[in-house]
Structure 1
Amino acid sequence: MAKVAVIGLGIMGLPMAKNLVTAGHQVTGYNRSPEKAQELAQAGGTAAGSVAEAVKDAEVIITMVPDSPDVQDVVEGADGVFANAPKGALWIDASTIRPDVAVNLAGAAREAGIRPLDAPVSGGEQGAINAALSIMVGGEATDFEAAQEVLNGVGKTIVHVGPSGSGQTVKAANQLIVAGNIQLLAESVVFLEAYGVDTDAALKVLGGGLAGSKVLDQKGQKMLDRNFDPGFRLALHHKDMGIVTAAAREAGVTIPLGAVVAQLVSALVARGDGGLDHSGLFKLAHELSGGDEK
């Protein structure tokens, strides 16, 4: 079993760290809010007071923080991962960031003697809790193989998708698909409710056909219940849609439906709904059809 450091113990990082403890790894965690690290300690891990302390003896370092600048903050500088982790350690960035930043940081990691993998995850909070995440991994094949045992502790579908940056590119596509599915599910629920259909029954039968999806399974009931407690916040999906629209423009690819959904997500964030679950796209779909929810 490995000595693992987990940097970032939020909605995703904390259950991932706990699952690694359950899998038998020696896990040290650091979070800017120290109570999260204490929660990991209560689950059998170790709390660290800094990034440097967390990674000093680590064989594997996992970072799970919100955005590209946050990753740069924890890996660069005198207190960062690159300056303090042992030579030869594996660095697995499970955050969702810009592919070009992932490529640049991978180069800097190699110069520091660290083996980098960009390994963003999909599956949301429940997938993290259940150790059932889908993980798309970019980096060297040999480093991917070396990370398998740790990745198996947090994920179910784990695929090497290419060189550094490829994991983030695939994740951008994932977020494009998810946002589109959530928006269409929201519009469908508004449509069904307008006709007085038994929506529970409707979603059940839709879920059994070609319209079925994990988005429908995980987000449909939240829409029916008007329960938008965050599993994955709209603010983060807004960031991710910015990543995919910018990357699509750079590649000369048009994503017309994705661009519309990106604007709908942006509108919700701009009006103060960024803390809601991304199923909160339902609120705007409902209001645009005359609903009075605020």
Structure 2
Amino acid sequence: MKVGFIGLGIMGRPCVLNLLKAGHAVTVWARRRESAEDLLAAGASWADSPAALAGEVELVITNVPNTGDVENVLLGDNGVVHGARPGLVCADMSTISPIGARRIAESLAEHGVDFLDCPVSGGEVGAINATLSIMVGGKAEALEKARPALAAMSKSITRIGDSGAGQVAKACNQIAVGATILGVAEVVKLARACGVDPAPVRQALMGGFAASTVLDIHGQRMIDDNFAPGFKAVLHKKDMGIVLETARELGIKLPESAHIAELIDRLIERGDGELDSSAIARLVWEDN
């Protein structure tokens, strides 16, 4: 199908390559054309604006940093809405606020455009290997239109509910990932304090009930003390901000989420915001 892609960063770039590999015709836009040169060489086409891109495709996919960025590329000057034809589907793979997602969906609906909030889990590795887990909020019919393209980037696609529901699921995901990172960090800390090599401990746990993707990937990062980013701490900070903001609006307490956010803030304050967010393990090891 004809797909437009906006947002060519650490996640977007491999997603475009997987769409091309699957045979989709992909048109891209970025603020700097030079950032897209390798994708153009791989077979993608270039559009001069989000509006121009929208006029050429059946599906627009966005993957940008925050709610304001999504609103800008979809609804702002020269945004997608200004070139969209009725029936266009916009699938946003960014992590934004559920309330923002609902607001964007309502604005696009006024122009005959369907919006899917499609945040993902799996990080850079999942984007490269086309094994992302996609959580979808929006109309089932719009999802079916977008499914061929989404399937080229993922191993699972789950419709959670109406607009905003995908973002709710992503917020829940970020809580679970953060809390599990803390648990694995304590596993490594305890093993070392006991004079035991954490590597075989991790290996043993991966064969039992404690096995998880976090233990597998981030556990190895911790053993190697190698926190080259798959998902930067500064981005996890933004996501945990969405979690806590949503909790405040609902009048509920999420103490573990607050603890995760506090550790990420400390990591960033000491200049390590560009590291993978699992680097909060270093703070766990330092705290007694």
TM-score for both structures, normalised by structure 2: 0.96
- Show the counterpart of 1:75: 74
Report the alpha carbon displacement of residue 244 of structure 1 after superposing the two structures with TM: 0.7
Counterpart-to-counterpart distance in 2, 1:259 and 1:221: 25
RMSD of equivalent CA atoms? 1.3
Q: 5+ residue gaps in structure 1?
A: 290-294
- Show the counterpart of 1:24: 23
Report the alpha carbon displacement of residue 236 of structure 1 after superposing the two structures with TM: 0.5
The answer on 1:119 being equivalent to 2:118 is yes
Q: Is the 8 A contact 1:125 1:231 kept in 2?
A: yes
Q: Is the 8 A contact 1:3 1:60 kept in 2?
A: yes
Q: Partner letter of residue 19 of structure 1?
A: N
Counterpart-to-counterpart distance in 1, 2:18 and 2:35: 15
Counterpart-to-counterpart distance in 1, 2:99 and 2:237: 18
Q: Deviations over 1:222-256 (max 9, x none)?
A: 11111111110000100000111111222232211
- Show the counterpart of 2:199: 200
How does 1:36-51 map onto structure 2 within 5 Å? 36-51=35-50
Q: Partner letter of residue 146 of structure 1?
A: K
Q: Deviations over 1:91-122 (max 9, x none)?
A: 00000000000000000011122111001000
- Show the counterpart of 2:3: 4
The answer on 1:170 being equivalent to 2:166 is no
Q: Deviations over 1:26-72 (max 9, x none)?
A: 00112224333112112221233432333221110000001111111
TM-score for both structures, normalised by structure 1: 0.94
How does 1:44-193 map onto structure 2 within 5 Å? 44-193=43-192
Counterpart-to-counterpart distance in 1, 2:42 and 2:280: 35
Counterpart-to-counterpart distance in 2, 1:78 and 1:245: 31
How does 1:243-258 map onto structure 2 within 5 Å? 243-258=242-257
Report the alpha carbon displacement of residue 196 of structure 1 after superposing the two structures with TM: 2.2
In structure 2, relative to structure 1, the CA distance for the partners of 1:219 and 1:33 (3 Å cut) is farther
Q: 5+ residue gaps in structure 2?
A: none
Q: Partner letter of residue 264 of structure 1?
A: L
Q: How many pairs are equivalent? A: 288
Residue identity (%):
47
Report the alpha carbon displacement of residue 284 of structure 1 after superposing the two structures with TM: 1.1
Q: Partner letter of residue 97 of structure 2?
A: R
Counterpart-to-counterpart distance in 2, 1:164 and 1:91: 12
